[in-house]
Amino acid sequence: MTVLRLIHSAAALVSAACLTVTLWTGLHDRGVALAFGVLVTAGELTRWSDAEGRRQAAPLGAACSLAYALLGADDGRPSQHDAAQVVTVVLVATVLGAVPHIWSGHSPTADHLARRVLTVGFAAVCFQPLYNQGVFALWSGPAYALLLLTLLALTSLCGAVLAAALAHCRTRWPFGPLLREELRGLLGIGSAVCATGAVMALAVAVVGLWALPVFCLPMLLVQLSLRRYAAVRATYRQTIASLARATEIAGCTPAGHAHRVAALSQAVGRDLGLTGPELTVLEYAALMHDIGQLSLVDPVPGGATSGLPAAEQRRIALLGGAVVRQTGVDPAVAVVVERQADPYPEQPLAARIVRAVNAYEEKARDAGPEGPLRALEELRLGSAGSYAPEVVESLARVLARPRGWRGTAPAPGGGRRTGLSDPVPGWVTHG
């Protein structure tokens, strides 16, 4: 947690210094500051979450913040604001826009503010002092636009590193995979935010503040489309979860077994470095790993397949894969379900994870207080032939964490969180 405190402390110091300087020197170009402040506030008010619930984003607020940080002129007149004023305006606007989220308990405000202040401050410090000294006076046309895009790219990289560091501190997931996932996200909504920020700064410099609503409208439309896509993804995920409950309703498996296996599998997958689509495939496969039991004439006692003969386990897995293929789910999910009973050297990593986690859950659920330790020890003893040693050790690390994988479990009773891969509260990315 040292890194988390360091990031928060740095953001607090930058905020305090900028507020002090702005109060001392006064607010310059108040109309421009008010216009950008209103747009940043509006962007925060319309913050959204994706289908997995893992990312909260305010693309409009992020684009307007970056545009203000890189604003050199207003309608041909050189701007008078400095980097301290940029941070102050963005900070106040972000706090105002976050009030409804704070009131409803949806906003991990500290991390979001820290990242916003540090990224906007970085962009403003790189641009405003040099612009105010006339360094960029001879830059025009494509060269000036390339300068802004370069600064935005560097700012985005800094933001990705901060987001990955904050997520690592909150979840204890490996930093490398988290950073790769953040960098991959820059190719999507991140690139749209950077492009919009650059275009807004260039347009205001030429035609004035009237350019703001013109270039904000496309970003709002993009945000609306992303919201709809997130809703479709959430519905699809809920459909998979409902299908996974068929084995419970039929009495083939205990209540909540599939969801517990999926939640713990996701945590192990994170620990082993899986990201993005790989985690989605792992989650869906873990949810439906027992669906082959619906095709059995005689149910397995307690739904515990880990103690069955290897041939019977493979037969149930193949039956499950056939059912999954009929649902229209990604074929990769069916492959994982089919191969979960194969010898582990021949399995893909997702199948190794599902097999080990399923066995752990079956062995530990009714074994009393010592059940988890005994189940983990049995997996370690069986790792020479049945379970992948690296998966078993990852499982041990996840279980040893104070809140580890429990933070990824679905919200009971149809709560707000829609994905089993949701991290603990506090991970805010892409704006």
d(CA 244, CA 246): 5
Q: Cβ distance 431 to 191 under 8 Å? A: no
Q: Cβ distance 356 to 386 under 8 Å? A: no
Beta-carbon count within 10 A of 104 CB: 9
**Could you tell me which residues come within 8 angstroms of residue 96 by beta carbon, excluding any fewer than 6 positions away?**
41, 44
Number of structural domains in the chain:
2
Q: Cβ distance 243 to 327 under 8 Å? A: yes
Instruction: Give the CB-side neighbour count of residue 174, counting CA atoms within 13 A.
Output: 15
**Could you tell me which residues come within 8 angstroms of residue 93 by beta carbon, excluding any fewer than 6 positions away?**
36, 37, 38, 40, 41, 44, 61
pLDDT at residue 125 in the model: 94
Residues 258 and 330 in one domain: yes
| Of the residues 182, 209, 233, the one at which a domain ends | 233
pLDDT at residue 410 in the model: 41
d(CA 49, CA 419): 11
Q: Please check whether residue 179 lies inside any domain of the structure.
A: yes
Residues 277 and 202 in one domain: no
What's the DSSP call for residue 137? T
d(CA 11, CA 13): 5
Q: Please check whether residue 413 lies inside any domain of the structure.
A: no
- Which three-class secondary structure state does DSSP give residue 150? helix
Residues 223 and 249 in one domain: no
Residues 280 and 152 in one domain: no
Q: Please check whether residue 178 lies inside any domain of the structure.
A: yes
pTM, 2 dp: 0.77
CATH of the domain at 263: 1.10.3210.10
pLDDT at residue 167 in the model: 86
d(CA 106, CA 2): 25
Residues 201 and 252 in one domain: no
Closest C-alpha to 97, from 60, 70, 72: 60
Q: Please check whether residue 429 lies inside any domain of the structure.
A: no
Strands 56-57 and 48-49: antiparallel
Q: Please check whether residue 392 lies inside any domain of the structure.
A: yes
Residues 189 and 49 in one domain: yes
Q: In terms of residue numbers, what domain contains 157?
A: 2-233
Q: Please check whether residue 416 lies inside any domain of the structure.
A: no
Amino acid symbol at 16: A
pLDDT at residue 106 in the model: 61
Each residue's pLDDT, cut to its tens digit, for the chain (431 residues) gives 688 899 999 999 999 999 999 999 999 989 999 999 999 998 888 876 554 445 567 788 899 999 999 998 888 888 889 999 999 999 999 999 888 877 776 655 788 889 999 999 999 999 999 888 888 877 777 888 888 889 999 999 999 999 999 888 888 888 888 888 888 878 877 888 888 888 999 899 888 888 888 888 888 887 788 778 778 888 888 888 888 888 888 888 888 888 999 999 999 998 898 888 899 999 999 999 888 888 887 778 877 788 888 888 888 889 888 888 888 788 899 999 999 888 888 889 999 999 999 989 888 877 667 778 888 888 888 766 788 889 999 999 888 876 544 544 443 333 333 333 333 333 334 45
Which CA distances in Å does 332 have to 257, 272, 348?
22, 19, 10
Q: Cβ distance 258 to 290 under 8 Å? A: yes
Residues 250 and 215 in one domain: no
